[in-house]
Amino acid sequence: MRLTTFSDYSLRVLVYLGVQDEGLATIGEIASAYGISENHLMKVVHHLAQHGYVETVRGKGGGMRLARAPAQINVGEVVRGTEENLRLVECFDPQASDCRIEPACILRGALGRALDAFFGVLDAYTLAELLVPKTKLRKMLTAVAAPRARIR
């Protein structure tokens, strides 16, 4: 199983905002810190704002911040909300399944339990727990995002 880029970027945005003590962050700052596309981040931030994870402030001096305390943001919930398709195999969708061995297959149950275990682990974490090395994370993200002097 592989998470989509959308889920990856969603978690990265939340981590970035979680290490900010005060003030607002911009999409440009986050994109620069991670070396990723601002266009992708706009969609991610919009989704996170619609689901109540991020609060956005428009206008000059605007940006975004967490809308909830990090301890109130469950990692499993975020991933479930950002993944469009959690069907590991065709038979997870009975309406679309054309598997000939489905009635006798043990694999479907095994994969279902594996997916449940995957989310069981993610459900055990909140954003607050991902931010435990907060000082180190902040240094790493701000060092990359800091503007560089131009060489002439």
More confident site: 142 or 43: 43
**Helix axis angle, 27-34 relative to 5-19, nearest 10°?**
110
**Which residues constitute the domain of residue 35?**
5-145
Domain count, the chain: 1
pLDDT at 145 over 70: no
* Average pLDDT for 121-150: 82
pLDDT at 150: 37
pLDDT at 152 over 60: no
Is residue 150 assigned to a domain? Answer: no
Q: Is the pTM of this model over 0.75?
A: yes
Is residue 57 assigned to a domain? Answer: yes
Is residue 152 assigned to a domain? Answer: no
Question: What is the domain-level CATH number for residue 41?
Answer: 1.10.10.10
Written as one letter, the residue type at 62 is G
pLDDT in tens, 93-112: 777 778 888 888 898 889 98
Is residue 151 assigned to a domain? Answer: no
> For all residues of the chain together, what is the average pLDDT?
89
